[in-house]
Amino acid sequence: MATARGGGGVGWLVVVVVAVVCLSCAAAAARSPAGRAHRHLKRLNKPAVKSIESPDGDIIDCVHISHQPAFDHPFLKNHTIQMRPNYHPDGLYDESKSGGGGGEKPMVQLWHQGGRCPEDTVPIRRTKRDDLLRASSMRRYGKKRHPAPNPMSVDPNLLNEGGHQHAIAYVQGDKYYGAKATINVWAPKIEQPNEFSLSQLWILGGSFGEDLNSIEAGWQVSPDLYGDNNTRLFTYWTSDAYQATGCYNVLCAGFVQINSEIAMGASIFPISSYSGSQYDISIMIWKDPKEGNWWMQFGKDYVLGYWPSFLFSYLGDSASMIEWGGEVVNSQLDGVHTSTQMGSGHFPEEGFSKSSYFKNIQVVDSTNNLKAPKGVGTFTEQSNCYDVQNGNNADWGTYFYYGGPGRSSNCP
């Protein structure tokens, strides 16, 4: 009997040791990169009512409107979703006047070929494990690491500081309550996977120090973020100059989406071709004068959602600068300028169907009216690599051509 009890004791000891070892293994697994990625994916990918496979390999999850990532924010736990803005800005530019010199209506987004999301849901591009593994860290996934272009402070000796170059038009010196632009869409070539090329508008408040507030939207090609070279609709926001707050699209709490038709980060199709058909998107961002939230509209028909006013300090009141234009990352591999293209990859002087453009650019004033911007300035760090030229006419209102090829005999 004693021997039996002794054997049983050893058996129990073995079980306990095995259990402790298993718990240790489980804890180690949870702390491993794979374990952290799994938890992060669960936070990002909400339960879907329906999932749609896009021809480009994306999965679009139709998530119930009240379960979207925005509501992970502690201030939004009991938030009543605002399903429509109280006011639209007055004075929209008559796009029909753009007749023979404008773009053609795009299909909007590629995933629509696979289906549509039902009412009361919002389409969210599913984040995959490979997306996280491409990031420099999971903490920084979906976040920018660079400031907005500051056209008022350029040191010629620091032209490539941070590796970012721009070709933009801008206005400052007033209070701005929104902006609008029509942008033609291209697929610029990217030299290195960690580089990107984008065309967007910036709504800026505060200084260019650590307190900068920014709301951004446009199109981008970013292999690092998306894993391919597709041209995609994107948004971004920050309230502390890209340090800790904000993210691309809906990769963190903040932007509240209300639209079931358009997915942030999804591919735009079709795109413009050199000396061929031109395709445009239009984007408008404005501050609701009643609720104070910043709204975004895509095209004529799609009010996408809003950034709640409490996310911001300076933009809680108004913007102090509006910027429109292009940006690229110049990693200067082996000490030479990148050949990553901006816009169409061609300089402004080539003109329509060859160079990229913004047209009908407008700002929203304190009376909630859209109007042509006054005192438009232009800015580029190296005009021999990427340039910008602005103008005005009856068809396109205030416009500019921008972009370039990057590295060339004139841009070494």
Distances in whole angstroms, Cα of residue 368 to Cα of each of 175, 236, 284, 287: 12, 23, 13, 8
Which residue of the set 327, 349, 350, 381 is catalytic? 327
CA dihedral 239, 263, 346, 237 (to 10 degrees): 0
Task: Report the range of poorest mean pLDDT among 38-42, 78-82, 109-113, 160-164.
Answer: 160-164
Helix 33-44 vs helix 2-31: angle between axes, to the nearest 10 degrees? 60
Three-state SS at 1: coil
Q: Which residues contact 265 (CB under 8 A, 6 or more apart)?
A: 125, 226, 232, 233, 234, 248, 249, 250
Based on the residue annotation, tell me whether 327 is a catalytic residue of this protein. yes
- Using omega within 30 degrees of 0 as the cis cutoff, is the peptide bond preceding 270 cis? yes
Q: What residue segments make up the domains of the chain, in order of their start? A: 43-94+107-142+163-404
Is residue 329 within 8 Å of residue 194, measured between CB atoms?
yes
**pLDDT, mean of residues 232-251:** 95
Q: Which residue has the tokens 């009856």?
A: 394
pLDDT tens per residue across span 28-50: 555 666 788 889 898 889 999 99
Q: How many residues does the chain have?
A: 412
Is residue 318 within 8 Å of residue 285, measured between CB atoms?
no
Three-state SS at 140: coil
CA dihedral 204, 401, 267, 143 (to 10 degrees): -30
Task: Give CA–CA dist 70/286, Å, rounded.
Answer: 19
φ/ψ (deg, to 5) at 199: -135, 125
Q: Looking at residue 86, what DSSP letter applies? A: S
Q: What is the pLDDT of residue 158?
A: 52
Task: Give CA–CA dist 342/324, Å, rounded.
Answer: 13
Task: Give CA–CA dist 315/53, Å, rounded.
Answer: 37
Q: What is the pLDDT of residue 162?
A: 60
DSSP symbols for 102-129:
SPBPP-EEGGGGG--PPTTEEEEEPPPH
Is residue 375 over pLDDT 80? yes
Nearest C-alpha neighbor of 103 from the set 219, 261, 196: 219
Which residue of the set 195, 216, 323, 381 is catalytic? 216
Based on the residue annotation, tell me whether 216 is a catalytic residue of this protein. yes
Q: What is the pLDDT of residue 78?
A: 80
Claim: this prediction has a pTM higher than 0.95: no
Q: What is the pLDDT of residue 33?
A: 65
pLDDT band (50, 70, 90) for residue 98: very low
**Higher confidence at residue 317 or residue 138?**
317
**pLDDT, mean of residues 202-211:** 91
Nearest C-alpha neighbor of 401 from the set 359, 371, 373, 362: 359
Average pLDDT, the chain: 89
Nearest C-alpha neighbor of 356 from the set 378, 389, 384, 316: 389
